[in-house]
A and B are shown apart, each in its own frame.
Chain A
Amino acid sequence: MVLKRFSHFLDALSEDEIPVGLSEKYPIWKKNKATLWYYPSKHRKFKEPIFLIYSVVNKAYILDLAPSLSLIEAFTNAGYDTYLIDFGTPGFEDRNTTIDDYITKYIEKAYTRALRHACTNEMTVIGFCLGGTLATVFAAITDQKIKNLILAVSPIDFSQFPIFDKWQKALRDGEVKVDDFIDTIGMVPPDFIKYGTRLIVAPVSYSHYLALLNRSDDPKYREKWLRMNKWTLDHIPLPGKAFNQLMNDYVRDNKIVEGGLEVNGIPVDFRNITCNLLVFSTKYDPLVPSELCEPIMDLVGSEDKTFILFEGGHASLVANKSMPFPMEDWLLNHCTPVDDDC
């Protein structure tokens, strides 16, 4: 039994490329490397489709790992037509792309295209991780109507970083400046992102192998592990200008909370967010602890706003076959049912 499990463990490690992102999807708009994907629901039950914004430093297929392991599939099965703006993998030619560009030239344009495609005037916008941070700024500046805004493990208040406080202080005091270095290399390579994230979460990481070894006789667990592991190692480069803007405006100056954030020179007022708001965070997330997410509740103008703290870690909510229950319930109460399957 012990040896059999070890043999399964070795088999899993030598597994070839595992397919991900298998839900039925159609590209409806492309710009540069970005694609707006449409995932039709077989039994559309709600008037407002869902518009997903994922992080700019990871690949979006975590939302659609495999059948029965896909949040997107959970949305379409529940009757929501779903759109996803996938930023693609930027190259050296995109080194001057800023966070403002991501918001105005990609997210806002894609949202307009999705509205146009769905023949509707409002949607539920869901932002994950850093994508949620961008979704918040987008919701504050856009003229387009948003029915509901859901922010999942999205950092807002960067003053509350739990570890590396001395580095953060040095960054805030202007002692450590990396702008010039990043501008020189142009792009932040995916390995920088990978090891940077790892430094915050776990510089030495082998416990996931022990978890696989422990449950390697369960084929379902093996498959999920392989897909999650693939995603964990699959980072994308970030344009240097976007990195600098993130580090200076969002992390160092904490402008979302402390004020002064501008998009293309126009001040951002988060009280402009008046749509229904659901913010959720997880208890065991060393990367984006709940203290970083919750402060958005005091910044927005929304009357209907809810904050939920779940059990689990950073990616555990999205890599599932169903929506987290309170989210499913919340969406049911905040979306308009349609009478026919149009």
Chain B
Amino acid sequence: MGQVTLDVYDLLKKGGTFLQFQINNMIQNQLNHYSLINVAKTQTNALTKKIKKLQQYTEQTAAVLNLPTKTDLSNATQLILQSEEKIDNIDDQLYQITKMLHEMKELVAKIALSNHESMDAPLSASLSEEIAKQEEEIATLQQEMLQVKQKMAEQKEQLIITETPSVDPYKVN
């Protein structure tokens, strides 16, 4: 006759999981009830009003004491965010200009190659040179904008009120 080994933990897992399923079903059924919906319906507004009043008192007290509130700090942060967005948009436009300049440079090079004995050759060379100069200036500008964005991010960090300060694996130091 084969020996049957009872695994206590396996039994516990199976039984416990089944019991959890039953308990949760019961809780979910109990919560899915009109009486609770009615409580939520009537109490939400009252709670909201109380919170609003408290917020109002806090703002008024802070104004008297000349203290910045969470709203003040967040408003300042929002200004930085708007600037950050604008810098991003400028950067996008600069990228498009760089792309166009690059295409122009290629076109000028092609024209110069096909008319290399004509009078246009020096003109093509000076055009290419001018485009390269513009590209360089744009690259410098983009670099400067990146630095400004980084500085703004640092300023924002000082103002930000984080809801959940935790170790974030995706945080860039």
Contacts and interface: CB of A to CB of B under 8 A. Distances in A.
Interface of A: 2, 5, 17, 19-22, 27, 30-32, 35, 37, 59-61, 86, 88-93, 95-96, 105, 109, 112, 116, 163-167, 170, 175-178, 180-181, 184-185, 187, 189-190, 199, 202-207, 210-211, 213-214, 234, 236-237
Contact of A202 (B12, B24, B40): B24
B37 interface: yes
Shortest Cβ-Cβ A-B pairs, 7 listed: A21-B169, A93-B74, A93-B77, A210-B13, A214-B9, A207-B17, A210-B16
A91 B37 contact: no
B60 interface: no
Q: Which of A89, A93, A96, A164 has the most CB of B within 10 A?
A: A93
Contact of B164 (A176, A181, A190): A190
Contact of B32 (A5, A61, A166): A166
B163 A91 contact: yes
Given A21-B169, A21-B170, A199 B28 contact: yes
Nearest to B87: A31
A260 B85 CA distance: 29
Interface stretch (B44-52, B113-121, B126-134): B44-52
A89 B168 contact: yes
B20 A207 contact: yes
B68 to A, nearest CB: 13
Contact of A181 (B33, B44, B169): B44
A89 B164 contact: yes
B103 interface: no
Contacts of A109: 88
Contacts of B149: 30
B32 A163 contact: yes
B101 interface: no
B170 A35 contact: yes
A193 B52 CA distance: 22
A264 to B, nearest CB: 14
Interface residues of B, number: 54
Q: Which of A21, A96, A207 has the most CB of B within 10 A?
A: A207
A336 to B, nearest CB: 23
A184 B51 contact: yes
Given A164-B31, A178-B44, A203-B27, A213 B12 contact: yes
B166 interface: yes
Contacts of B153: 30
13 contacts: A2-B8, A5-B9, A22-B169, A30-B149, A60-B170, A93-B77, A93-B159, A105-B85, A109-B88, A176-B37, A206-B16, A207-B13, A214-B10
Nearest to B81: A32
B93 interface: no
A120 to B, nearest CB: 14
B96 to A, nearest CB: 10
B55 interface: yes
A31 B160 contact: no
A273 to B, nearest CB: 24
Interface of B: 7-10, 12-13, 16-17, 20, 23-24, 27-28, 31-34, 37, 40-41, 44-45, 47-48, 51-52, 55, 70, 73-75, 77-78, 81, 84-85, 88, 92, 95, 149, 153, 156, 159-164, 166-170, 172
Contacts of B34: 166
A176 B39 CA distance: 10
Given A163-B28, A184-B55, A210 B12 contact: yes
B28 A164 contact: yes
A278 B156 CA distance: 40
A93 B75 CA distance: 7
Given A31-B88, A181-B44, A210-B17, A236 B164 contact: yes
A176 B149 CA distance: 43
Given A21-B170, A60-B170, A109-B88, A214 B77 contact: no
Nearest to B33: A166
Contacts of B23: 203-204
B143 to A, nearest CB: 15
A31 B85 contact: yes
A342 to B, nearest CB: 19
Nearest to A183: B48
Contact of A177 (B44, B77, B160): B44
A30 B8 CA distance: 51
Contact of A35 (B8, B28, B172): B172
Nearest to A177: B44
Contacts of B47: 181
B10 A204 contact: no
Contacts of B95: 116
A32 B44 CA distance: 32
